[in-house]
Structure 1
């Protein structure tokens, strides 16, 4: 039984099996966080929409998508030619 030298083995964070495991754990934690909204009675709606189930999860996701879209738009508007500094 021969083992590969340590230099040939990829780092544990870049192995496909570890990446799948981390994604699974990440999704499980996200689902548990949203599901906990059923049992929590501590937050009270300040306006109508923030009292809906999973509001903070979908609002955070929508905000993240909006930031990416705005950043892409800014990249197009602020882009300069490659020869700008020549």
Structure 2
């Protein structure tokens, strides 16, 4: 049986995607300084508020999920019994 070749099996394609990701990231960071915002709250006026808020929220979700896993985790053979 022949294995199907995926587009991400080649390391150069993965490098292209990572490069594209960082190019988009740089464009968005530059746009954050250029685009005029209409902040309703004081913190929204900080230039990197939204990326920081998103990063802190994502990291918080990971830590909450780790803590929640200890509560809801079942044993390995829970359904076999």
Q: Work out whether the TM-score is over 0.5.
A: yes
2:16 aligned to which of 18, 21, 24: 21
Return the index of the structure with the highest Cα Rg.
Answer: 1
Higher percent of residues as helix = 2
Taking the aligned partners of 1:57 and 1:18, their CA distance within structure 2 comes to 27
Tell me how large the CA RMSD over aligned residues is. 1.9
Task: Summarize the alignment of residues 1-86 of structure 1 with structure 2, pairs less than 5 Å apart.
Answer: 10-41=5-36, 43-85=37-79, 86=81
| Runs of 4+ with >3 A deviation | 7-10
Q: Normalising by structure 1, what TM-score? A: 0.77
Q: Normalising by structure 2, what TM-score? A: 0.81
Structure 1 segments unaligned to the other structure (5+ residues): 1-6
Q: How many residues align?
A: 79
